[in-house]
Amino acid sequence: MNYAIALIHEENGSFGISFPDFPGCISTASTIDEVIAKGGQALALHVEGMMEDGKTLPHLRGVRELRADPEMADWFEDATVAAIGVDLPKRVVRINISIDQGLLERIDRTAKALGQSRSAFLADAAKLHIADN
């Protein structure tokens, strides 16, 4: 797992979280614990969206590197710093699986109806199942 540095700011009892390496990825909540959880969810969705849009993921910088960046000076003022875990996609690999033919036919019909490839459908289904555990 990789970690993205998050900056948390509190204003009038509300908390906001942002990620310097992922501009535009933000979330808010009424407690610091909740904003960390929601920030992790926002980051995962942001990364997924970047991949779907074919965008290059940024190099993840550590606290020292971010603090050394003059453009980040204001970001760190009065901020709580957190490291949020993020699963960055790796290279695509081909696999060979065994599956019931009837189930495979249903998968293919459903994937086609959704405008997806078999691989994309199976990956999405796996992500949904993994997210629930």
User: Residue 81, by phi and psi: left (phi above 0), alpha (psi -120 to 50) or beta?
Assistant: beta
Domain-located, residue 94 = no
For a pLDDT cut of 90, what percent of the chain falls above it? 68
Q: Are residues 15 and 76 in the same domain?
A: yes
Has residue 92 got a pLDDT over 80? Answer: no
Q: Are residues 71 and 13 in the same domain?
A: yes
pLDDT score at 131: 62
Residue keyed to tokens 């942001």: 46
With H, G, I as helix, E, B as strand and everything else as coil, classify residue 81. Answer: strand
Q: Are residues 35 and 58 in the same domain?
A: yes
Residue 123 domain boundaries: 101-131
User: Would you say the pTM of this structure is higher than 0.75?
Assistant: no
Domain-located, residue 95 = no
More confident residue, 132 or 101: 101
Has residue 48 got a pLDDT over 70? Answer: yes
Q: Are residues 61 and 32 in the same domain?
A: yes
* Structural domain count, the chain: 2
Q: Are residues 119 and 82 in the same domain?
A: no
Domain-located, residue 36 = yes
Q: Are residues 12 and 44 in the same domain?
A: yes
Alpha helix segments (H runs only) across 10-31? none
Domain-located, residue 91 = no
pLDDT score at 35: 97
Has residue 109 got a pLDDT over 80? Answer: yes
pLDDT tens digit sequence for 13-27: 999 999 999 999 999
Domain-located, residue 7 = yes
Average pLDDT (36-64) is: 92
pLDDT score at 46: 94
For a pLDDT cut of 70, what percent of the chain falls above it? 97
